[in-house]
Amino acid sequence: MDDRVLGLHHITAIAGKAQRNLDFYTKVLGLRFVKKTVNFDDPGTYHFYYGDEVGSAGTILTFFPWEGMQPGRRGTGQATEIGYSVPEGSLDFWLKRFEHFGVTYNKPAEKFGEQYLTFLDPDGLKLELTVSKSPDPRAPWTTPEVSTEVATKGFHHITLTLANIKGTADVLTDIFGYQLVEQHVNRYRFATDTVEGAALVDLVEAPGEVRGQVAAGSVHHVAFRVKDDAAHLHFRQKIAAKGFNVTPQIDRDYFHAIYFREPGGVLFEVATDNPGFTVDEPLAELGTHLMLPSQHEPLRPQLEAHLPKLTL
């Protein structure tokens, strides 16, 4: 068994208005709407999944859109930036597109020898488009407006902002098998070579910064990928042996999950590849039906009447 995680699995964030979130990620960014379901613990709230054609691990960004949720605040103890990989030469396209749609963005900059473009989603979630210096062979989801030459390929990195990086770095290296590969001032880049994309975690050490508040426009948790249930059990035992309070395995319908809070305060998840997003919808119909966990299926009439109506 490979004693390392396979990069990022998914990232889950919090939004406000459901329709606004759906429009931004499908129409502006051109991601595929992979799954429309509900929050397992709060079924009166949607759970949206966006990604590539099949919902590959390392491409999935998910949201809990709580209508009327107040804005969060970026700070320490949080995942503060989500980086997507884009092809070389694509940033001009994205600059024009963001201008057209009124998206808040910063001019392109560079870190670790890679060009990137920072922008905010409608709830203030901070994202980046990065032209990776390593080849990214992943095939993107495309739309009539967002072609293969410019489309996002999945995650490039996630950034965690922490008062002290030591404990978090130890989790990445000692449990997950990452290595420190680059450092610039207070940004430390960790990488795994088990996958060609979604392989990077940046830790930013900011001891004087105020602690963040998770609400709309904030990352709720970061999920790391393992191949199957055998690997999942192995990592659960490994995490518990390090003294962390880790949950039992939870069936999330499309993957199996365990959760623990790393020393810097960020909620980490470890998720399996199996069974995938076509377990309850054909590939061609992903995201077109309201899919409910079995325990909430008896509530379908009430949920369909309560959940915000969406235009796809």
Whether 155 shows a pLDDT value over 80: the answer reads yes
Query: What's the pLDDT at 138?
Result: 96
Q: Calculate the average pLDDT of the chain.
A: 97
Q: Could you tell me if 48 and 63 are in contact, meaning their C-beta atoms sit under 8 angstroms apart?
A: yes
**The pLDDT of residue 200:** 98
Phi, psi of 182 (to 5 degrees): -155, 155
What's the pLDDT score for residue 4?
80
Predicted confidence (pLDDT) at residue 20 exceeds the cutoff of 90: yes
Average pLDDT over residues 6-25: 98
**pLDDT at 182 (0 to 100):** 98
Question: Using one digit for the tens of pLDDT, what is the confidence trace for 168-227?
Answer: 999 999 999 999 999 999 999 999 999 999 999 999 999 999 999 999 999 999 999 999
pLDDT tier, 1 (very low <50, low <70, confident <90, very high otherwise): low
CB-CB contact of 7 with 225 (8 Å): yes
Q: Is residue 289 pLDDT above 90, yes or no?
A: yes
Closest Cα to residue 199, out of 178, 229, 228?
178
pLDDT band at 80 (very low <50, low <70, confident <90, very high): very high
The model scores a pTM over 0.75: yes
Q: Could you tell me what percent of the chain has a pLDDT over 90?
A: 97
pLDDT tens per residue, range 215-262: 999 999 999 999 999 999 999 999 999 999 999 999 999 999 999 999
Q: What is the CATH number of domain 8-306?
A: 3.10.180.10
Q: How far apart are CA 296 and CA 302, in angstroms?
A: 10
Q: What per-residue confidence (pLDDT) applies to 201?
A: 98
Mean of the pLDDT values across residues 45-59?
98
Domain boundaries, the chain: 8-306
Give the chain's radius of gyration (CA, Å). 18
Contacts of 73 (CB under 8 A, 6+ apart): 210, 212, 213, 215, 218
Q: Is pLDDT at 84 greater than 70 in this prediction?
A: yes
